[in-house]
Every structure is written in C-alpha cells, then in structure tokens.
C-alpha cells in the first residue's frame, strides 16, 4: 500500500489541544492551516466563515466542522505489545508471571512464523489507526523477521512508531527465548539497522531498545543493551518497571546486589531521558525522585494495572506529575483487554480516584480534607494522551499539540448521530466542552471519522 504525499488543507470549527497539564484549549471558530509538507502553518481562533474565506485561497481544501464535531491531536500510546493483539482479555486475574507463562509466551512464540506476523501486525496497525492512535511505542516479539515486518507495516500504513525487538534470554520457555546474549544483541542491532534504513531521518518509524524486564535478561544482556544505548545517544529504551509486587520481588531476588529497580537499571545504563518505563505502580520515595533526576518517562497503563498482575495497582501518577516526570498513557494490549486510548483515559481517572480514596483511609476509616491529592483531572488525562505521551516517546517537539511548525497528526471527531455511535447523544445546546467530554467518556472508534499523520489521511472517510 502506498500512501499519498501530504497536501495543503485547512480546518475550521472547534479545535482542541493541550499546551500544559492544566492548559486545555478549546478554540471555537478556529482555523488551522496545514502546509504542503504536512506541517501546521497557522492556528487562529474566533474567525467567522467570511473571515476564513478571506484568509484562504479558493483552491485550498477546507473541512468545515459542524456542531458535534471537533479536531483533536492524534493519540499517543506509550506502551503496546503488538504480538499480544490476538489474546487481549485472556487470563484475567492471573498474577503477572503466571500470565506470561500461560498466556503471553505461547501466543508470542507464534511470531516466529513470518506469515503469521505479517497478518497480525497489519491488523494491529490498522486497528490502532482506526482508534486514533497516530503514534505508538511497540514491543515486538523476540523474532528478527517479525520485528522488521512490524516496522515495515507501520511505515507503509503511515503510523508514527517506535519498534523494538524484545530481548529475553532467561526465565522463559526454551521455545520462546533468545539462544543467548550474543544472539539477542546481534538480532537487536540488525533490527535497529533495518529500521534506520527504512526511515533514515526517523520521521515516522524509529528503533527502540526493548529489554522485556530484568527477570528475562541476564546481567550480561542488560550490560550489552546499556552499551548500545551509550553508542547511540538518540536511541530510546523501553522496559517494565515496578509493575507488581510479584514482579518486583522476583527481580530483586535475581539481583541481590540491588534493593530497588531504579538502581538496578541505572547501573546498566538503561535509565535516562530517553527511557520509557511501563507501569511504575509500586514506587518508593527514593525511586520516584531517582526517575525525576534522570528525566525518565513513565507509560501509565491503568487498564492492565487493574486487571492482570495481581491486585488493583493504581500507579501514583499525580505524584509523578508533581515532580515533573513525563507521563503518558499506554494500553499495554494483552496485559489488559482494551486497545482503546479512550479507555486508557477513562481508567486513568478511575484509578486515580481509587488511589485518592485509599490514600485518605486510615485504619479502615476514610479521612477527610485530603484535597483530592491523588486524583487526576480531565485536563491532565487529555494532556497525557496527547502531548504528554509524545514527550515520553521522544516525538514531543514534532507532535502532540497544534502549535504552528509541528507535524499535523490529528483526529476528526464526530459525536452526531451520523456516525452511528453509542456515545452520549449530542444535544443542540451542548457546549464544545460537553462535546469533548461526551467523546472521551462515552465515545469509541466510530466517532473518529478521519485520522491524519503528517498531513496524510491514514484512516477514515
């Protein structure tokens, strides 16, 4: 499939984006102009149709958004296991290590078959674009060919993505682990080279180092990946971090010289401003501050944290944000049950409300006056799904908001009856804020009528 080149175009109507955690801008009668290279040329608000007509050349295609329609930035999924697409929702309630052995590893091992990988990864990328995910950070399987295919398909379909070969040399079945440290590193380098040849400038697809987690990596493998990171300062890193009590205990038992995962990963050179740490549900004061000092990013995956792993794990997101730590949202895929970033947004609110209540309890009695210390706001959740996520995965200077000069990654939202969705119905007197809330809290992919990446329509009418 060959995508058309970017084109100049314009949008007039309600345009929404975030410029900060609490800075949600809902611009009415706004005009956004995209230049021929797929970048945002200008963004103005409060323009009448006559003013718009006077500003634009007659030949420029114009999309006029009516009541119930919005333009929002493309959504960013900071943590997604692409090989788990087929087994989403299976094994609910299992602890994480049992879930890996019984569900994830058997399914992921099938990606040694390139034909299987090609078929599934086409579905993954198509399905994610359909749900407005214009940027994703993907874990692949451990297989060379399958990882290359995932990168190929992202580029062909026009999705912005990080793609990583999953490194795992131990504590996995013989039929699903790397043959050894040298092979794991060699395949990693080959996949990195392939992705860089595909997209030398890294405009759309970039490689990412992907140690699954320390449980599955020999010390020599972690050291080798840390060496690759030092040799390539722009290379991002993704792994799991303090995902559950079971995982944390198993990790520290394997690495008795360390008392926490922050010092462990930092020792091997895997924590820096390019690190994407998934979950971070059980954090100590020391570890949280260490991540802040090292400028790491966090991929918050509330759906998975509440369904697979062993308990209701509500990450301390508000505390992370207060310390200036970059936080984005992730769907995780098989570890939860939903690939929807809208669900990730909703569940991040639910998890934060639960954590706020639990934090306010003392000896089983609810305390008062905690001022919602752990609760997230709608504004913060929207930011994490867009600009915050873009910052975490290293694309924040290019996408995430509608600042002029950025690439045009966007979703046209429609909650009118014409989209045939099951969202809360549009009323004549609904404000733009109400339309946005109805979309985020009750909408789905049916409300995403067009999806653009770098000015090119990659999904929709």
State residue 367's pLDDT score. 45
Angle at which helix 432-442 crosses helix 341-360, to 10 degrees, equals 90
State residue 365's pLDDT score. 45
User: Domain coordinates of the chain in residue numbers?
Assistant: 9-73+400-460, 75-393
275 vs 185: CA distance, rounded Å:
18
* Number of Cβ within a 10 Å radius of residue 2: 4
Alpha helices in 199-284 (DSSP H): 219-231, 245-254, 261-267
The dotted CATH code for 9-73+400-460 is 2.30.40.10
pLDDT tens string 271-329: 999 999 999 999 999 999 999 999 999 999 999 998 876 667 789 999 999 999 999 99
356 vs 340: CA distance, rounded Å:
24
304 vs 309: CA distance, rounded Å:
8
Superfamily assignment of 75-393 in CATH? Answer: Metal-dependent hydrolases (3.20.20.140)
State residue 310's pLDDT score. 64
Token pair, residue 374, equals: 């752990």
Token pair, residue 430, equals: 């609904």
* Number of Cβ within a 10 Å radius of residue 298: 31
124 vs 437: CA distance, rounded Å:
27
Q: For residue 65, which of 16, 121, 133, 12 has the smallest C-alpha distance? A: 12
Q: Determine the Cα angle at 207 with ends 280 and 283, to 5°.
A: 10
Token pair, residue 66, equals: 């009516």
Q: Which residues of the chain have pLDDT under 70?
A: 1, 309-311, 362-372
Residue 217 contacts residue 168 (beta carbons within 8 Å) = yes
pLDDT tens string 182-191: 999 999 999 9
Distant-in-sequence, close-in-space partners of 285: CB < 8 Å, separation ≥ 6: none
How far, rounded to the nearest angstrom, does the alpha carbon of residue 77 sit from its chain's CA centroid?
2
Q: Determine the Cα angle at 77 with ends 386 and 251, to 5°.
A: 125
């Amino acid at each position: 499939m060959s995508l058309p080149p970017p084109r100049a175009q314009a949008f007039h109507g309600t345009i929404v984006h975030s410029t900060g955690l609490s800075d949600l801008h809902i611009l009415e009668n706004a005009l956004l102009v995209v230049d021929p290279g797929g970048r945002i040329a200008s963004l103005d608000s409060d323009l009448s149709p006559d003013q718009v007509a006077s500003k634009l050349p007659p030949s420029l295609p114009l999309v006029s958004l009516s009541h119930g329609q919005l333009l929002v930035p493309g959504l960013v999924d900071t943590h997604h296991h692409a090989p788990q697409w087929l087994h989403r929702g299976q094994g609910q309630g299992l602890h994480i290590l049992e879930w890996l052995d019984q569900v994830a590893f058997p399914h992921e091992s099938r990606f040694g078959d390139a034909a299987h990988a090609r078929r599934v990864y086409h579905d993954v990328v198509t399905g994610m674009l359909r749900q407005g995910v214009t940027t994703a950070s993907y874990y692949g399987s451990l297989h060379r060919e399958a990882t290359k295919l995932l990168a190929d398909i992202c580029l062909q379909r026009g999705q912005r993505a990080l793609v990583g070969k999953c490194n795992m040399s131990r504590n996995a079945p013989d039929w699903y682990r790397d043959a050894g440290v040298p092979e794991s590193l060699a395949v990693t380098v080959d996949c990195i080279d392939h992705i860089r040849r595909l997209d030398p400038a890294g405009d759309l697809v970039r490689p990412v180092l992907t140690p699954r987690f320390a449980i599955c990596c020999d010390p020599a493998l972690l050291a080798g990946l840390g060496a690759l990171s030092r040799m390539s300062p722009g290379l991002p890193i993704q792994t799991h971090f303090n995902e559950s009590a079971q995982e944390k205990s198993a990790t520290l038992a394997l690495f008795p010289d360390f008392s926490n995962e922050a010092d462990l990963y930092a020792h091997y050179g895997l924590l820096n401003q390019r690190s994407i740490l998934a979950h971070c549900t059980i954090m100590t004061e020391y570890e949280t501050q260490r991540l802040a000092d090292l400028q790491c990013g966090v991929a918050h995956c509330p759906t998975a944290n509440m369904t697979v792993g062993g308990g209701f794990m509500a990450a301390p997101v508000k505390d992370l944000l207060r310390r200036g730590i970059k936080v984005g949202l992730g769907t995780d895929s098989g570890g939860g049950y939903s690939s929807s970033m809208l669900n990730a947004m909703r569940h991040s609110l639910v998890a934060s409300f639960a954590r706020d209540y639990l934090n306010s309890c003392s000896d089983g009695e609810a305390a008062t006056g905690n001022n919602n210390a752990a609760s997230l706001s709608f504004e913060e959740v929207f930011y994490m799904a867009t600009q915050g996520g873009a910052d975490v995965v290293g694309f924040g200077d290019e996408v995430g908001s509608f600042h002029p000069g950025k690439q045009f990654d966007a979703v046209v939202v429609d909650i009118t009856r014409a989209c045939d969705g099951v969202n809360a119905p549009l009323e004549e007197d609904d404000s733009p804020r109400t339309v946005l809330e109805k979309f985020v809290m009750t909408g789905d992919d049916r409300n995403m009528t067009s999806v653009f990446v770098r000015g090119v329509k990659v999904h929709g009418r």
